[in-house]
Each structure stands twice: as C-alpha cells, then as structure tokens.
Amino acid sequence: MLTVEDLTERTAGRLNVIAPELHAVREGDDRIRVETGSRRLYVGVQEAYIRYLDDPDHHEQIVVDAALRILGMIDDSDAEPTSADILPVVRDRRLPEAVKAHAAASGAEVVELLTEKLNDELVVVYVLDTPSSLSFIGEPDIGRLGVRRPHLRDLAIGNLYRRIPTVGSQEYDGLLLLTAGGVYESSLLLLDYLWNDFLPIDGSAVVAVPNRDVLLVTGDKDVAGVKRMREIARRSFEDEAYPITPQPFIRRGDRWETI
C-alpha cells in the first residue's frame, strides 16, 4: 500500500521523465515543487491519492495521469490569482499554530493565517486555490487582491458555492457520507442550505469531520447512528491522513456545537 508521500514521490519522478526540462521534487507529504527555469510552482496531489485509495491496482496509471495534469497546469499558471480563488476550509483550532511552527522550523516565511472561530474545536481558515497551487493566506494576501476583512467570509463562501455546484452523498454503515472532491468536505459545514431540513436525517444534524475528506452525517434522534459515528470518527481520525477532530457536532440554529 502506497502512502501519500510515496505517491507524491512517484509523481514527481514521472514528471521529470515526461518533461526533463522541468525539475520536480516532493516537498512535504503531498506537494510537488516544480521549477520551470523562470518560475516555481507548488502542486498538491491529494486528488490523485484519493483515486489511488479507491483503485490501488491502477496506481501506475494514476501517477501518469497526475503528472500529465501538472503539465497542463503549468500552461495555466501565468494567470494572476483573483479574489474568486479565495475559499474557506474548516480545520482543527490548533492548525494555525502548527503551520507557524512548521514554517519556523523549515526556515520559511512565517505567515499569520486568516482564521475565524467556528466553535471550541474548529476554525475557518482561508486558502488561495489556483490551478497550480493551494496555499493558506494572510492579511497581506487579501489586501493585494482588493478584499476587505469584513467581506472575506461571505466572499469565500460564495466562491465555495461556485466551486462545488453539486454535493455528493452515499450511505456508509447507516450514516450519510457527503463528498465534495476530497478537499472541501469539511467546508460543507459552512453551506447553510445543506442543514436547513435538506438532508434525509431524523432530527437535528449531527456531523463528524475526522479528516479533511470525510464528513459523516446523521440525525440526533438516531441514537445508534450517533454511537456508530463516534466510533468511525475515532478510527478515521487515528488512522487516516489530514486529521481534524474525532469530536461530533450538532446543529443548533446556525451554529455547530460539541456533543
């Protein structure tokens, strides 16, 4: 079984074979740094790893497809980012300090992330999602993009609606599993329309976001379902990549509260 680091390493290697004029190396767990001579790009391979987990027997083709996708991105990377590229992600409240500590340890520039408290366990963090990279942003970034802080959340959620026009769902052990492409599942907590009697659940919505790409849902009247959710979330949080929290939350009004 390949780890995300293995898949990233193989994709970088394949990219160097396909396009030897480039220089591609793995940087971090799931990101590739590509140097073209005049530019340096950072590209994540999260979607490719999700494909691999679904179909590990075709890992070689998945690596080739990921490398070709990156080549296609290089031609698109000349476009300057705009405010339409700002998106919200929901993460563990300790993430901002962890990012700062990692940057300081690696000698990179330490950026004060833009965050908003969602509840006692979760924060909303803002990213710039362009064809060539996905990166956290700080106050100077939104200033360059002409965005004022009071308007940031509404802008980012509007962008999220446009990026995720359709939310997928499937049954998982008696629970609902919502899908949004493997990166923005936790961000679905911010889309109010989903939680206003839209989902086929019994009672108020209870959710768990143990990882970035997992959003489990049931109703608070489904006592057995809530119990299963706690156990599934605990295992996923402990065993899978990009952990957030094993703590379930219940929807009360327009807030997510711990239960």
73, 21 in Cβ contact below 8 A? no
Is pTM beyond 0.85 here? no
pLDDT per residue over 144-186, tens digit each? 899 999 999 999 999 999 888 778 899 999 999 999 877 899 9
Q: What is the DSSP track for 149-173?
A: GGGHHHHHHHHHHHH-S--EEEEET
Task: Return the amino acid letter for 36.
Answer: T
Min mean pLDDT across 79-83, 125-129, 149-153, 172-176 is at 79-83
The two three-digit tokens of residue 88, written as one number: 């919200």
What is the reported pLDDT for 177?
95
In the chain, where the domains are located: 4-76, 83-163, 168-258
H or E segment to which residue 110 belongs = none
Q: Are 181 and 118 in contact (CB under 8 A)?
A: no
Return the amino acid letter for 54: D
Q: Quick check: 215 and 209 in contact, CB under 8 A?
A: yes
Q: What local confidence, expressed as pLDDT, does residue 71 receive?
A: 83
- What pLDDT was estimated at residue 43? 83
